[in-house]
Amino acid sequence: MKRNRYLLDTCALIWLLQGHNHIKSFWEKHKDYYDDFAISIDSLKEILYKQAIHKLELQMTYKQMIKALESENLQICYFEKRDLDVLSDLPFFEKHKDPCDRHIIATAIAQKRVLVSGDLDFPLYEKHGLRLLQI
pLDDT (tens digit per residue) in 27-47? 877 776 667 899 999 999 999
User: Which pLDDT value is given to residue 32?
Assistant: 66
Lowest mean pLDDT among 2-6, 44-48, 68-72, 93-97: 2-6
> What is the sign, positive or negative, of the torsion defined by CA atoms of 51, 55, 58, 59?
positive
Radius of gyration of the chain (CA): 14
pLDDT number for residue 10: 95
The residue segments making up the domain with residue 80 are 5-134
The total number of structural domains in the chain stands at: 1
Percent of the chain with pLDDT over 90: 67
Q: What percent of the chain has pLDDT over 70?
A: 96
CATH code of 14's domain: 3.40.50.1010
Query: Which pLDDT score is estimated for 105?
Result: 97
Measure Cα distances from 64 to 5, 36, 67, 69, 134 in Å: 25, 22, 5, 9, 27
pLDDT at residue 2, as a whole number:
62
What is the tens place of the pLDDT at every residue in 44-85? Answer: 999 999 999 999 988 899 999 999 999 888 999 999 999 999
